[in-house]
Structure 1
Amino acid sequence: MNIDSYYSTRKNVFERIQDSSTATKLLMSLMMACFTGIMAQIIIPLPWTPVPITGQTFAALSCGLFLGRKYGCLSQILYVALGVAFIPWFGGMTGGVEILLGSTGGYFIGLIIASYFVGLISERYAEARNFKKMAVTIGIANFALIYIPGLAGLALFLALQGTPVGIVELLMMGLIPFIIGDIVKILAAASLSKVFLPKD
């Protein structure tokens, strides 16, 4: 396959996804929700925090890239809703409303918001699908749109448990240990955008 054929194929596949029927997009959203559930089982627990490192962030950010704001966001809504309802596919094969109300509940909300934001940029700005611009976009989604509600939820959870913490301790529990891993996931998702998404 020469470079022109590669560019043409990449554009045709992307347009077919964008132009597919509502039923097909709903199915793809469900498939990406399943992918998020699978990636959530990649877990690195940390002894000083109830929040583990997982692969679900990478999945959530990738959903927006390929499905756009509406259906990328829907995939994460399905992931959270089905996990709360009856599918134990949160980290460590867990599920139920108690997980959503626990220490990681805010991060689940962040996944939904972040997938919408990445999908919005991916849909509307073809020039933003290159590596550098998408890395910045995904970085904003990751460190602002996921961590702000995530840290707020963690702080609330700890306060309700009778163990409120200061801002430095909160960041040590819910942000700082994850920065290096998140940078790797951001660069990996940006690489997907560079390789698989058309730039025009």
Structure 2
Amino acid sequence: MNVFIEGYKNRMYDFFRWRTETSFVYKLIMCCTFACFTGLMAQVRFYLPFTPVPITGQTFAVLLSGVMLGKYYGGLSQGIYAGLGFAGVPWFAGYSGGIGVLLGPTGGYIIGFILAALFIGWVVDSNIRARSFSGMLGLMLFADIMLILIPGTLWLYIWLNLFYSVSIMEALMMGFIPFIAGDVLKVFAAGTAGGLIIPKSA
């Protein structure tokens, strides 16, 4: 058993070293892979009757990209996802794409994906304590709330008020509160997956 555990730890160190030291071309390939994975998870969706924002699996892919790709490249993967999607690649929720999505009710969340992945990657690479299971859960939950849900809800509030008179509390009920429980589950799943891959010490 000890031999198995040591071998597993060595594989984690090998992966962490490889993803840090590998060439830019391989890093770019990994970024594109995670962009595609985010697009795939965007199709795992369902809508609530009182909000134009769907519940999707994207958050899981976004959080995991920060851990797997590290600083800069986690954010780059989501930048590729957002940029190509806004350019017309139909991999946003419901196989949608185009600049209209950026200007629509979910544009703020997509921009938040970039910020969250950048932040998670930077912290995981810079702070060993963030690689513990509890540290990773706290980090991901913070990034999800502060860098995805809050910017997304603020943009939703602005967008809604272009057409209706909506209070900030109504915007919270449409763009923030309904997503907390599901996002906690996605944070737990991404934190567990990340914890199995990233070494807990330098």
State the TM-score bracket (shorter-chain normalisation). Answer: over 0.9
**TM-score where L is the length of structure 1:** 0.97
Whole-angstrom CA distance in 2 between matches of 1:54 and 1:139: 16
Report how far residue 22 of structure 1 moved.
0.6
Matching residue of 2:22: 20
Gap regions ≥5 residues in structure 2: none
Aligned counterpart, 1:190: 191
SS at match of 1:160: coil
State which of 39, 42, 45 in structure 2 corresponds to 1:43. Answer: 45
- SS of residue in 1 equivalent to 2:72: helix
Residue-by-residue CA offset, 1:146-180 (whole Å, 9 max, x unaligned): 1121011101111112x131122111100111111
Aligned mate of 1:63, from 44, 53, 65: 65
Of residues 21, 31, 34 in structure 1, which corresponds to 2:33? Answer: 31
Q: How many residues align?
A: 199
- Residue of structure 2 in register with 1:175 after alignment: 176
Quick one: distance in 2 between partners of 1:106 and 1:86? 17
Shift of 1:3: 0.5
Equivalences for 1:114-153 in 2 at 5 Å?
114-153=116-155
Residue type of the alignment partner of 2:104: G
Deviations 1:5-46 (A, max 9, x none): 110111111111111101110111011000000000000111
Amino acid at match of 2:162: L
Alignment-mate amino acid for residue 179 of structure 1: I
Distance 1:115 1:102 in 2: 22
CA distance in 2, matches of 1:34, 1:164: 37
Q: Secondary structure of 1:69's match? A: coil
Alignment partner of 1:98: what SS? Answer: helix
The Cα shift of 1:86 comes to 2.6
Contact 2:43 2:94 in 1 (8 A): yes
> Equivalents in 2 of 1:164, 1:155: separation in Å?
10
CA contact (8 A) 2:88 2:99 kept: no
Q: Are 1:131 and 1:190, in contact at CA under 8 Å, matched by a contact in 2?
A: yes
In 1: Cα distance, 2:49 partner to 2:42 partner: 18
**8 Å contact kept, 1:104–1:154:** yes
- Residues 120 and 143 in structure 2, CA contact (< 8 A), matched pair in contact too: yes
2:150 aligned partner, one-letter code: I
Question: Percent identity between the aligned chains?
Answer: 46
Unaligned runs of 5+ in 1: none
Report the TM-score, using the length of structure 2 for normalisation: 0.96
Q: Cα offset for 1:126? A: 2.1
Residue 154 (1) aligns with residue 156 (2): yes
Q: Which runs of 4+ in 1 moved over 6 A?
A: none
